[in-house]
Chain A
């Protein structure tokens, strides 16, 4: 797991990242040469032909056909090269290999949810190393964009339609995944990670994620806590987040922004999930989406049970 020392671009960890980087560096080097040439000529001319007297009367310069033709042809050839090259790599990046493992991605303000073929859901993207992964993405609210710099992968996530992305990770490690399409208040907090594991570790993780048929409501709640993205705002250790921590929440006395108080019993917890905007705890803002009202009744029971355990 040796990290390639990166000169300009970040560390690369997908199969096509090398292709993108080669093209990037090619354009960078040609650009630097062109830029240095133009600037050197500019400075040279400004110095060589500097005004020596206010009465200077330079003769008009005849236009030189060879020079003019060359400065039309050379850039045209260069952009033709980078266009064709960029187009070939782009097609490669756009067409997922047929053997790719499919993962569904659901984005919402401001969390990511990844769903696997066997029904396991997670808020971080676990993938096996060395195997192509195809993401089928949709958004519950506004535009988002899934971006993994280390993979050179980016695709907008659009409400009302599916978009796709694929990659094959080349190294076991954890990589930052972020939202790069502005999506409102907590856009910069909409982060997750890609956890690249060996095929065996990944399979094991996938099996662990399956809930036993006899799981208790609290165990199902723990699963939902991750899957529904609750963890993005509500900690379990008492640390303050965007929302109140779950630690010691059940049974405590809640003080609301309007000064009223209420004991956090089961019904309070239920309403806080389904109608989050009605009672705002002092020191917090009304940011929680109302979409959790759509959870199944047994899912709400499970979450309440989970919160009560903390």
Chain B
């Protein structure tokens, strides 16, 4: 199709042109709409949970409704939001342009992934409406999950199906990065976001089949009554936990690695400086992808696995913790002797550093065997993984969305509104979850519908829970504010220039304000690294630069 002068949004119109698109950018937007909807849903469940816990005793719902609410919150947020979010939205939109490709390697498979994901997602949600309620928690631990109604099997099938979307997307990105790089785009010139998505793709392809296998085993156990996980049939419930975490721990890296990639890009661009330790960050992402398969047992220190296993898993957990810590040092060091601009995306990058560092340090805390015995299954764990999953993965996503928003929509958003919302999110988040660290340390168990019975001995739980609930509403206000100014930007936002941030990666330097359907008018020739601001006369002007090496800019 001839689309001269057209951009990817205006090239064709109508619902069909979106639902049958094979353009990676439009598929990215399809993911964005779906994920945003599920995020709203998951967020509502979270607010229901926090409202119930705001005061002791029954507040707004009974035990059953509460147990279903936290289960749905977990399932929706993990499987329908965090896992698909960054690869699906930003991976799809940004990765091909960043490596100078016209599209991903398999555009039709890419669209098919989205449909598979939607099928899994709608199954998961319809199961709740049609078949019956699930109250097992997102972990589906046996034998409790085997007792329930068939809706557990329905929901796990949905997770199984959504898993294929994850596998296909991962496969697509691996091939795209290997085969579709523009001339001059050497491996050591890949933006760190590409490295992160690449490492994530490896985990998606290798780990996701395991949850599929686990769900099939659950099915076989129920249908054929053969003992696998159910002790009543001669199975072993701890085996289920091994299977579950053998997927779900690597899945933690599916969730956090892409956010780390975004942060690397943001720190580089908004500091106008080489990302410190580029090679280390790039390779450690891949190393973490593999090491991530060897630490699942740290979820099970008190589950009845042998003490020796626990000790080995604790040691491996620290091995994976060290490179993650070093990355934080690298990100901070990137600002050294840079030119730091505190635009909204950078505020989120710094917020990520704040929250993720707390998440990481408390990860060391719960990785220490003796201490984990006390903290396991308390609110300390809840706080820890929210600092990593929300403070890390989702704050990274929000930062990335602000960063690439002008490229995706061709519009700017209100910088003032962006900063106010960032402050609300930061304050709300810490009020919600830092209080949970304290009450968790003091023994407040997770997944409790009510804590009235604990108040005799631990009266402070009432105040902490109330503070946490208030925080969740502040956090929600911040998130709704983002939604509001995003919508405003779409309708009324100023037209964005092609490169509002002075970034030097291809999506900013070689495309128009809104990219055309095939991204580039001609295949770009890459002559510098992703953070070589000193070589970017074409972007920043020839100013004081000693180097006159410039890049082909058409």
Contacts and interface: CB of A to CB of B under 8 A. Distances in A.
Interface of A: 6, 8-10, 19-20, 23-24, 27-28, 31, 34-35, 38-39, 41-42, 45-46, 49-52, 54-61, 63, 67-68, 71-72, 75-76, 79-80, 82-83, 85-94, 141-143, 145, 147, 149-150, 152-156, 158-161, 163, 175-176, 178-189, 191
B371 A179 contact: no
5 smallest A-B Cβ distances: which pairs? A160-B231, A149-B443, A86-B368, A89-B370, A90-B369
Contact of B377 (A34, A68, A147, A188): A147
21 contacts: A9-B441, A20-B371, A27-B365, A46-B342, A56-B272, A58-B534, A71-B326, A75-B321, A75-B325, A79-B321, A90-B370, A141-B147, A143-B141, A149-B374, A154-B302, A155-B373, A156-B304, A161-B236, A180-B378, A182-B136, A188-B453
Contact of B272 (A57, A67, A83): A57
A42 B64 contact: no
Contacts of B276: 61, 63
A20 B232 CA distance: 36
Contacts of B441: 8-10, 24
Contact of A59 (B63, B364, B534, B543): B534
B376 interface: yes
Given A27-B368, A180-B445, A188-B449, 12 more contacts: A38-B328, A52-B339, A60-B532, A61-B273, A79-B318, A82-B364, A86-B314, A86-B370, A141-B143, A143-B143, A158-B303, A187-B448
Given A38-B353, A60-B534, A182 B337 contact: no
Contact of A145 (B135, B377, B448, B454): B377
A270 B310 CA distance: 47
A59 B449 contact: no
B358 interface: yes
A307 B144 CA distance: 32
Contacts of B362: 31
Contacts of A51: 272, 339-341
- B136, B231, B315, B368: residue with the most chain A Cβ atoms closer than 10 Å: B368
A156 B303 contact: yes
Given A20-B374, A152-B373, A182 B325 contact: no
A4 B532 CA distance: 58
A138 B543 CA distance: 74
Contacts of A58: 271-273, 337-339, 533-534
Nearest to B442: A10
Contacts of A187: 67, 447-449
B450 A90 contact: no
B540 A55 contact: yes
A192 to B, nearest CB: 10
A16 to B, nearest CB: 8
Contacts of B449: 187-188
Contacts of B445: 147, 178-180, 188
Interface of B: 63-64, 67, 135-137, 141, 143-144, 147, 231-232, 235-238, 271-274, 276-277, 301-304, 307, 310-311, 314-315, 318, 321-322, 325-326, 328-329, 332-333, 335-342, 350, 353-354, 357-358, 361-362, 364-365, 368-374, 376-378, 438, 441-443, 445-451, 453-454, 456-458, 502, 532-534, 540-541, 543-545
Nearest to A88: B370
Nearest to A40: B332
Contacts of A178: 443, 445, 454
A161 B304 contact: yes
- A91, A152, A187, A189: residue with the most chain B Cβ atoms closer than 10 Å: A187
B322 A45 contact: no
Contacts of A55: 540-541, 543
B272 A185 contact: no
Contact of B271 (A49, A72, A182): A49
B357 A35 contact: yes
A219 B65 CA distance: 40
A85 B456 CA distance: 34
B178 to A, nearest CB: 28
B453 A191 contact: yes
Given A34-B361, A46-B350, A60 B373 contact: no
Contacts of A6: 442
B149 to A, nearest CB: 13
Given A35-B357, A82-B364, A158-B238, A57 B544 contact: yes
B377 A181 contact: yes
Nearest to A160: B231
Contacts of B458: 10, 149, 176
A24 B365 contact: yes
Contacts of B368: 23, 27, 82-83, 85-86
Nearest to A61: B337
A31 B361 contact: yes
Contacts of B271: 49, 58
B521 to A, nearest CB: 27
A89 B357 CA distance: 26
Given A76-B322, A149-B443, A142 B378 contact: no
Given A58-B339, A91-B307, A176-B457, A185 B543 contact: no
Contacts of B310: 90
A28 B364 CA distance: 10
A45 B340 CA distance: 8
A67 B280 CA distance: 14
A45 B342 CA distance: 12
A180 B446 contact: yes
- B231, B302, B447, B502: residue with the most chain A Cβ atoms closer than 10 Å: B302
B377 A83 contact: no
- A20, A24, A28, A61: residue with the most chain B Cβ atoms closer than 10 Å: A61
A174 to B, nearest CB: 8
B137 to A, nearest CB: 5
Nearest to A182: B447
A79 B314 CA distance: 10
A83 B457 CA distance: 32
A31 B362 CA distance: 8
B335 A57 contact: no
